[in-house]
Structures are given as C-alpha cells and as structure tokens.
C-alpha cells in the first residue's frame, strides 16, 4: 500500500488556529508526522527547525526582550534541543507580545520536562500517535470519518450497529481490507506508506536503533543499551499479557527497580500502552496488574513478534487507544479479568455507560464467544451499553437474539 499523498489526521481537527491566543505543544514518538501536521495546521506561521545548528544558535543568542520582534509567533520544531526557548516564549506570551506559538518535539522525555519547568498551566499539550485505520484509509484521497466506536459509545451497541450494512461491497470493502492488512503487517508510521515492501523492514529496524541511540541518549539515564534492548524485546514478545515486574526482571536479568524505570521510558516514548484492569469488583476477586501492549504492530514485528491472536488483540487495543487519546474522547479503557478466569478483553466506559469487547482473530464469531459478555452485562445492569465480538472478518451482524451483543469486524469498528 504505497502512496505519495498526505493522509488526513484526526488531531488536525483539535488544534487551534494561529489567530487564537494559545501556546501549543505537540509531542509523540519519532516519525509520527508532527512536522507535516504543524505545517498543515499553521501554514502562514514562521517555521523554525532546531535541528538546524545555525537556527538553534541564533535563537539562543536572541535576547528575551527581543523575542517578539525577532521571532514572533512561530512553530518551533525539535524545541527541546534549545532549552532557553521555553522561557523566552513564556516571557513574550505572558507579556502579551505574542499570542501564539507551537512547540514540537520527538524526544518526549526532554520536551515534557521543559514544558513542566516553564510552560505548566499555559500550554495545551497534544500527542500524535502513528496512523490509525481511519487515517490510513485517506491515503488515496478519501475523507476522514469518525469510527463506528464513537457512535457505539454514545448510543449503545444495538442502536449504532443496526444502522450499519451487514457487509461492505466493492471498492470500499477492498480499500478497508488493504488498510487493515497494512497496519497488521507494517504498523502506522506514515513514512512506510511511501516505501516499497523491500525497504519497510529495514526502515523499522533502523527506527528501533534510532530510538535506542537518540532518545535514551537524550535523557542520559541508560548507560548500557544492551539490557534495555533485551527488556524491550521481552516486553514486545509478551504484548497482550499481564505485567509482572518480577518475571520481567528475572528474564531480563535486571533489578526490579531498573525494570520499572525502563518500562516507564518505553511508555513515555509511545512504544508501550499499559491497559489498566477494571477497577470495580463485579463477580469475584479481580486481578490488579495492567496488561502491556506494543503501541505499533510494525515495531512489534520488527523484534520478531506480532503473530497470532496476541497480535490481533494488540492491534485492536492500540487502535482504540490511539483514537481515544487523539480525539480527547471522554472514555476510559480497561480490561476485566477475575482470578477465577472470567475475562473480557476490553471495556470502553463513558458517560453513557460501558461497552464490552471480545477480540477474536478469525473470520466469524460464534454465540459461545459472547458468554463472558453476557455475564458482564448482567452484572452491570443499567450501565451496560452492550457487547461486541470484534473479528478479523467482514460480517457485521447480531450475534445473539436475547442480548445486545453483535459481531463486528475491526475494519468497521475503527
């Protein structure tokens, strides 16, 4: 799936215009498209990339009192590379000399640290994730659409799904299938859309090395990269499993404290998603450990993982997480598992109630797949908005007659 066209991004709709009085921070993993997004959002505003040594030096030498007339409203890319710009922007903004600036950064460790030190309470922080399925579908010029999940979370499973056709046909079905196949195989980094297949594996391997050498060097808290690389691989191979610090530390031959710190780095860097357990005891004692997921299937595949049902679960959870985080939807994600073995893969909880989701990496669901959803629905009572068994197939249909539980393809849900 190769394209020279720019994909459309959900986050663009949330960003303020350059005419509003705002300080904006856009962070996210490297190569997620922050620069492209900023240029699309604010095409008429000065753009300065602090990767350029000369520009970095010039901004360092600019007096704080002269910032507004020398730089003015601007998009400052890789802003964390020159710490003095944060205080200078703060001064000009507080003095009313500038009304807008956007600061971008690929090193989330340093960027967010600078923001906390200088711009806390002033900046609106947005995070850009790798491409979602609905965004990949715009690579050929299609329009960006809100996913079915948005309507499900607002109106309930039955009401939202009943309005959908049971099957998509023709070019639309083929296009969604191709987009989902691309995400399952290569992940969501925009650059991979433009590369031929034979170059994509090398790009992903290089990305992992770049992260290790640049991001970890930026924070200066990992002296030996080999243990970190080993832990990273172990975590990715266990994507979709419950987190056990003790087991990870033992297998990585690292102290538990170091393991916790490394996992924190991976999460901050946008490489890991920690899905918390449901916090309410409905049936019996619930587990309290989170589940860890790789944030991108391409990265998961690059370390040798990414096969079978765990990969499908990882893809589905990451898709839902990216959409909620990007759009700012008032939804909380979790999973439900009791010590007696009853489990629901994903819960989506919002003001209207709770939706339960089971994830099955096969073409069709069966009524027996709804067993745990039935149990959860009975326990939740009025808070229950229904359940979905999300598959890798193409059929969208009611799964059981006596409960609001539907079979929904992932390509339709997201």
Identify the band that residue 85 occupies on the pLDDT scale cut at 50, 70 and 90: very high
Output the pLDDT for position 212: 63
**Which uninterrupted H or E stretch holds 136?**
helix 133-136
Q: How many CB atoms lie within 10 A of CB 284?
A: 10
Residue 243's contacts (CB-CB under 8 Å, 6 or more residues apart) are 263, 274, 289, 290, 291, 292
Distance CA 375, CA 131 (A): 34
The answer to whether residues 410 and 391 touch, using CB atoms and an 8 Å cutoff, is yes
Q: Give domain 10-127's CATH superfamily.
A: P-loop containing nucleotide triphosphate hydrolases (3.40.50.300)
Distance CA 162, CA 399 (A): 12
For 387-402, how does the pLDDT look when each residue is reduced to its tens digit (9 = 90+)?
Answer: 999 999 999 999 999 9
Identify the band that residue 257 occupies on the pLDDT scale cut at 50, 70 and 90: very high
Evaluate if residue 245 carries a pLDDT over 50: yes
Where helices occur in 238-350 by DSSP H, the ranges are 245-252, 256-268, 297-302, 308-327
Distance CA 394, CA 414 (A): 13
Structure tokens that stand for 250 in this block: 């033992």
Backbone φ and ψ of 251, nearest 5°: -70, -30
Structure tokens that stand for 70 in this block: 């020398």
The answer to whether residues 70 and 227 touch, using CB atoms and an 8 Å cutoff, is no
Identify the band that residue 225 occupies on the pLDDT scale cut at 50, 70 and 90: confident
Evaluate if residue 124 carries a pLDDT over 80: yes
pTM score? 0.93
Distance CA 337, CA 80 (A): 41
For 158-199, how does the pLDDT look when each residue is reduced to its tens digit (9 = 90+)?
Answer: 999 999 999 999 988 999 999 999 999 999 999 999 999 999
Q: Return the percentage of the chain with pLDDT > 70, whole number.
A: 93
For 62-78, how does the pLDDT look when each residue is reduced to its tens digit (9 = 90+)?
Answer: 999 999 999 999 999 99
Domain ranges, ordered by start, for the chain:
10-127, 134-413
Strand 74-77 to strand 100-104: parallel, antiparallel, or no bridges (unpaired)?
Answer: parallel
Residue 397's contacts (CB-CB under 8 Å, 6 or more residues apart) are 166, 406, 407
Which residues sit opposite 387 in a β-bridge?
356, 405
CB contact burial 202-227 (16+ within 10 A = b; e otherwise) = ebbeebbeebbeebbebeeebeeeeb
Q: How many CB atoms lie within 10 A of CB 194?
A: 12
For 90-107, how does the pLDDT look when each residue is reduced to its tens digit (9 = 90+)?
Answer: 999 999 999 999 999 987
Q: C-alpha angle 229/235/239, rounded to 5°?
A: 145
Cα-trace Rg, the chain: 22
Backbone φ and ψ of 84, nearest 5°: -70, -20
Identify the band that residue 284 occupies on the pLDDT scale cut at 50, 70 and 90: low
Distance CA 10, CA 370 (A): 32
Q: C-alpha angle 200/204/206, rounded to 5°?
A: 115
For 298-351, how does the pLDDT look when each residue is reduced to its tens digit (9 = 90+)?
Answer: 999 887 665 667 899 999 999 999 999 999 999 999 999 988 888 999 999 999
Identify the band that residue 5 occupies on the pLDDT scale cut at 50, 70 and 90: very low
Identify the band that residue 285 occupies on the pLDDT scale cut at 50, 70 and 90: low
Distance CA 377, CA 368 (A): 15
Backbone φ and ψ of 165, nearest 5°: -65, 150
Q: Return the percentage of the chain with pLDDT > 90, whole number.
A: 74
Output the pLDDT for position 106: 81
Structure tokens that stand for 98 in this block: 């500038």
Structure tokens that stand for 315 in this block: 């893809």
Evaluate if residue 1 carries a pLDDT over 50: no
């Amino acid at each position: 799936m190769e394209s020279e066209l720019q994909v459309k991004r959900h986050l663009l709709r949330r960003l303020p215009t350059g005419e509003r009085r705002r300080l904006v921070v856009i962070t996210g993993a490297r190569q997620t498209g922050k620069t492209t997004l900023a240029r699309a959002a604010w095409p008429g505003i000065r753009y300065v990339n602090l990767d350029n040594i000369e520009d970095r030096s010039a901004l360092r030498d600019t007096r704080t009192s002269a910032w507004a007339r020398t730089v003015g409203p601007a998009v400052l890319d890789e802003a964390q590379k020159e710490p003095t710009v944060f205080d200078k922007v703060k001064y000009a903004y507080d003095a009313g000399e500038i009304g807008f600036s956007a600061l971008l950064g690929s090193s989330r460790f340093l960027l967010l640290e600078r923001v906390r030190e200088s711009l806390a309470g002033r900046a609106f922080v947005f995070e850009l994730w790798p491409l979602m399925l609905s965004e990949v579908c715009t690579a050929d010029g299609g329009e960006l659409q809100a996913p079915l999940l948005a309507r499900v979370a607002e109106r309930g499973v039955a009401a939202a799904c009943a309005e959908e056709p049971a099957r998509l046909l023709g070019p639309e079905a083929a296009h969604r299938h191709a987009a989902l196949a691309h995400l399952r195989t290569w992940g969501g980094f925009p650059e991979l859309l433009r590369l031929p297949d034979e170059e994509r594996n090398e790009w992903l391997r290089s990305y992992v090395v770049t992260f290790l050498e640049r991001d970890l060097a930026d924070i200066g808290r990992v002296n030996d990269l080999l243990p970190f690389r080993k832990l990273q691989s172990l975590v990715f191979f266990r994507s979709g499993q419950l987190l056990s610090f003790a087991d990870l530390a033992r297998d990585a031959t690292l102290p538990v404290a170091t393991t916790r710190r490394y996992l924190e780095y991976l999460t901050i860097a946008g490489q890991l998603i920690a899905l918390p357990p449901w916090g309410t005891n409905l049936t019996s004692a619930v587990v309290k450990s989170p589940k860890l997921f790789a944030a991108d299937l391409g990265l998961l595949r690059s370390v040798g993982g990414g096969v079978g049902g765990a990969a499908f679960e990882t893809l589905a959870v990451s898709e839902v997480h990216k959409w909620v985080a990007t759009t700012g939807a008032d939804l909380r994600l979790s999973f439900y598992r009791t010590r007696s073995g009853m489990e629901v893969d994903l819960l989506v909880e919002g003001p209207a109630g709770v939706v339960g989701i089971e994830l099955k990496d096969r073409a069709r669901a069966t009524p027996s797949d709804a067993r745990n959803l039935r149990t959860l629905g009975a326990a939740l009572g009025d808070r229950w908005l229904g359940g979905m068994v999300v598959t890798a197939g193409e059929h969208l249909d009611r799964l059981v007659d006596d409960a609001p539980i539907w079979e929904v393809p992932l390509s339709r849900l997201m």
